[in-house]
Amino acid sequence: MSAPPVPPKGHTRVASEDRRVNLPRRRTTKGPLDLDDPLSPSSPPPTPAKMASPPPPTPMPLAPPKDLSFLMQPQLFHPLPPSSHPAPFLALPPPPVSSSPSQLLASLHLRAAAIAAANAITATPSPAPQELFALWHTRLTALLLLGPPHAATAAQEVKAFSDLSSSFYRDPATGAHIVPWALRVLSVRLQSHATDWRRGISSYYELAREARTAALDPALPLETRTLWRQRLSELGVRVASACVELGDLACAVRALGSLQGEGVAGMRALVLVRAGMGAAAAAECGDATVRALVAMVEGRWEEAVDEWAELAEAEAGGAGAEMARCNWAVCELYQGKLKQARETLEGLIDEGIVFPGLVFNLATIYELCGDGSKKLKLQLAEKVAATGREMTNVSFKM
C-alpha cells in the first residue's frame, strides 16, 4: 500500500502558462493614405506589381449645360425712347434691316444696335451661350457710347449677371470662365458707375489676380501669356482711372507708377495735369501735348496756342491734329476771342470731323452767342447727323 502524498510546506510558486498572443508590429504611417515614400532610402525596391500601369480612368460624365435663361428675359431691357435724340437724327433713313447688331455698332448706329441686340437676346430660338454674351456686350457698349442717360441704363441692365466672380460662371470640367474677358471688364466698369468706384477697384484686382496667374503659367503658349500680360497692364490703367473718379489723384499716380510700356509716362503726366501739378507733369513727360496742357493749366494761353498750332501742323491729317485744333479753339475762347474759336470749331465740323468733345465745346460757344443758340444747335445737329455719327441731346446741351 502506497503512502499518501505529503502536502507542501509553506508557499510555493506555480509556473503558469503564457497565453498572450504575439501581435504583428504596426507600421509607421507616412500620411493620410499610409503610402510608402518611393524616394526614401529605407523603402524596399519596387516590385513588378507596384510598377504595373494603373487601370484606365473612368470617364467623367459631361456636365449639364448652364441654364442662362435668366439673361434672356424681356423685362431686363429698358425701352429707348427716341426723344433722347435731336430731331435731325430721327429724320435719317433707318439702317438696313439685314444688318447684325455688331454691324450696326460698327457703323455707329448706336440706338439701333442696342435695340437689335435686345431683340436677338429675347428671340426664339434662344442664342447659344457665346452668341448670347456677344449680344450683351454689343447692347451695353452701344448704351455706354450713347452718353450719360443711357450709360445709367446700361448700369442697371448689367445687374442681371449678378456676381460674375461666382463659381456658376466657371466651366466645371476645366475651371475656365465662360464669360468673355471684354464683357467681364465692361461689367465691372458699369457696376462701379452704378454703385461705388471702390468696389470697382476691388473687382479689378480680382481680375488682375486671374490675369497674373495666367501670364506666369509656363504651360500656356507664349502668345497666350503675352495676351494676359496686356490684359494685366490694361487693368492697371483702369484702376488708375477709377482712382481719378474717386478724386484720389495721388493713388492714381502710384497705380500707374508700377506699370511699364509705351505711353505709361504720358498717362502719369495727364493725371498730374489733372491734379494741377504742371511742373511734375512736364518733368514726367516732355511730350508736346503735355507741354500744351501744362500751359493751359497754368493760364499761359498765348504759349498754349503756339504749342497747339505746332502740334496741329506736325500731326496734319491725323487724329492728333483734330484734337490740337479743338484745344486751340478752347484757348482762344479763354482769351476772349469768341469769333475765332467759333470759326475754328465750325471749320472742323464742315470738314466732316465729329467727336463728342468738339460738339460739346461748339454748343457751349453757341450758348455764349446770345438768344439764337437753340437754332444754332439744331443746325449743328443736322451737320453731325449727316456724318452718320449718332449723338443724344446731352452732347448738344439740349
- End-to-end CA separation in angstroms for the chain: 145
C-alpha cell at 156: 442697371
pLDDT above 50 (res 30): no
Average pLDDT over residues 151-176: 91
Query: Of the segments 6-20, 91-105, 257-271, which one has the largest average pLDDT value?
Result: 91-105
pTM: 0.77
**In this predicted structure, what is the pLDDT of residue 57?**
52
pLDDT digits (tens, 9 = 90+) for 98-113: 889 999 999 888 999 9
pLDDT above 50 (res 33): no
Query: DSSP letter string over 245-302?
Result: HHT-HHHHHHHHHT--STTHHHHHHHHHHHTT-HHHHHHH---HHHHHHHHHHTT-HH
Share of the chain above pLDDT 90, in %: 45
Share of the chain above pLDDT 70, in %: 83
Average pLDDT over residues 164-192: 91
Element containing residue 31 per DSSP (H, E): none
pLDDT mean across residues, the chain? 83
**3-state class of 177 per DSSP?**
strand
Q: At what angle do helices 181-194 and 222-246 cross, to 10 degrees?
A: 10
Alpha helices by DSSP H, listed for 285-372, are: 288-297, 301-314, 319-334, 338-350, 356-367
> Which band of pLDDT confidence, cut at 50, 70 and 90, is reported for residue 45?
very low
Q: How far is CA 86 from the centre of its chain?
A: 31
pLDDT above 80 (res 287): yes
Query: Of the segments 14-18, 137-141, 160-164, which one has the largest average pLDDT value?
Result: 137-141
pLDDT digits (tens, 9 = 90+) for 324-380: 999 999 999 999 999 999 999 999 999 999 998 999 999 999 999 887 899 999 999
Average pLDDT over residues 34-62: 44
**In this predicted structure, what is the pLDDT of residue 178?**
94
